Amino acid sequence: MTTVKCPTCQKEVVWSKTALYRPFCSERCRTIDLGAWADGSYAIPSNEPPEDEEDEEQHPKTDPEE
Ligand SMILES: [Zn+2]
């Protein structure tokens, strides 16, 4: 049996066809999470430089400190 953790409340959710709101445990948690996204509460960390006029090849980060 596969279980996942509800992203909102960390409760374990059984990943099955009957889990309508997976990976959330309930509609409520799903709504909360979507609301958080709309809110901007979840800031996606962006290390991208603001310049994207030049479409250079991607450099995989190989920083040994991370
Ligand atoms: Zn939940």
CATH class given for the domain over 3-39: alpha beta
Query: CA–CA separation, 33 vs 42, rounded Å?
Result: 9
Residue 63's pLDDT is: 75
**Peptide bond connecting 23 to the previous residue in cis, omega within 30 degrees of 0:** yes
25 alpha carbon – ligand 1 mean position (Å): 4
Q: Are 6 and 25 in contact (CB under 8 A)?
A: yes
Tokens, residue 16: 């099955």
45 alpha carbon – ligand 1 mean position (Å): 24
4 alpha carbon – ligand 1 mean position (Å): 11
14 alpha carbon – ligand 1 mean position (Å): 12
Residue 9 predicted with pLDDT over 90: yes
Report phi then psi at 19, rounded to 5.
-85, 85
pLDDT in tens, 41-66: 656 667 766 666 666 667 677 777 76
pTM: 0.52
pLDDT in tens, 19-40: 999 999 999 999 988 887 666 6
Residue 50's pLDDT is: 67
Domain boundaries, the chain: 3-39
